[in-house]
Chains A and B, each alone.
Chain A
Amino acid sequence: MAGNLSDFNLGGATTVTSLPCGFSSGSSSLSLSPAIDTLVGACTANTFKTILSISGKGRLNALKFNAADATARTNTIKITIDGVVVFNSGQATAAANHYAAVGACIFGTISSVTFQPVEFNTSLLIEYKTTITETDKATVSYNYEVRQ
């Protein structure tokens, strides 16, 4: 019988095609460390802005954002893996709360995001948009690793 080893499901990593669970519950503080914490800069309303783009192979381990203030807005995070949009979700905020898109949250006196490793084989793209034209009104924090 002819076949490929990949025909056998041996438990290896497969490509993520969707992260359907949406954002975590909001928290006034949600620790993710180590992480790269990036202010979103100048944003045009309802226009996606690239936060991180990787050509290569690796893992996105965790991703969260926090709104900077109590202004009512909807923040959207879009994650594209290997050319497939796997997460594209909007979160309304009216307080300076944190929300995780990738990662499991442990809520307590000090709330934390733990890793939820999401593999990418050729590319990773993380984008952000808000419903208001504004500058630095959110921070996107992420942890990733690259592989050969």
Chain B
Amino acid sequence: MSDYVTETIGGAVVTYLNNPAPPVPPVPVIAVADIRQALIDSGMSAAAADAILAAAANP
């Protein structure tokens, strides 16, 4: 039972498995328009950027 911790919390006796999961970083949300603009800014033509995004959306 060494994996367990018992505490009194708010008047209740709480016993829990003490094996915390590592934090999961939040999933970043990037707009497709931002990706398209970044591709264009890197020197790619608008048509090529659109083709890449279309391929990514329908792998």
A92 on interface, CB distance cutoff 8 Å: no
**Chain A interface, number of residues (Cβ within 8 angstroms):** 26
Given known contacts A29-B27, A37-B20, is B14 in contact with A50 (CB within 8 Å)? no
A41 in complex: contacting residue of B19, B27, B29, CB < 8 Å: B19
Question: When chains A and B are docked, how far (Å) is the Cα of A36 from the Cα of B15?
Answer: 13
B33-49 contacts to A, CB under 8 A, are none
State which size class the interface on B falls in. Answer: 10 to 19
B1-59 contacts to A, CB under 8 A, are 3-4, 9-21, 23-24, 27, 29
A118-148 contacts to B, CB under 8 A, are 136, 139, 141, 145-148
B11 in complex: contacting residue of A29, A41, A49, A56, CB < 8 Å: A56
Scan A30-57; emit 1 where CB is below 8 A from any B CB, else 0: 0000001111110000000111111111
Q: Which residues of A contact B3 (CB under 8 A)?
A: 41
Question: When chains A and B are docked, how far (Å) is the Cα of A87 from the Cα of B12?
Answer: 22
Q: Would B9 and A146 count as touching, CB distance under 8 A? A: yes
Tell me the nearest residue of chain A to B12, going by C-beta.
Answer: A56
Q: Would A52 and B20 count as touching, CB distance under 8 A? A: no
Q: Which residues of A contact B27 (CB under 8 A)?
A: 29, 110
A103 on interface, CB distance cutoff 8 Å: no
Q: List 6 tightest A-B contacts by C-beta distance, closest first.
A: A56-B12, A146-B10, A37-B21, A146-B12, A55-B13, A53-B15
Interface residues of A (CB under 8 A from B): 29, 36-41, 49-58, 109-110, 136, 139, 141, 145-148
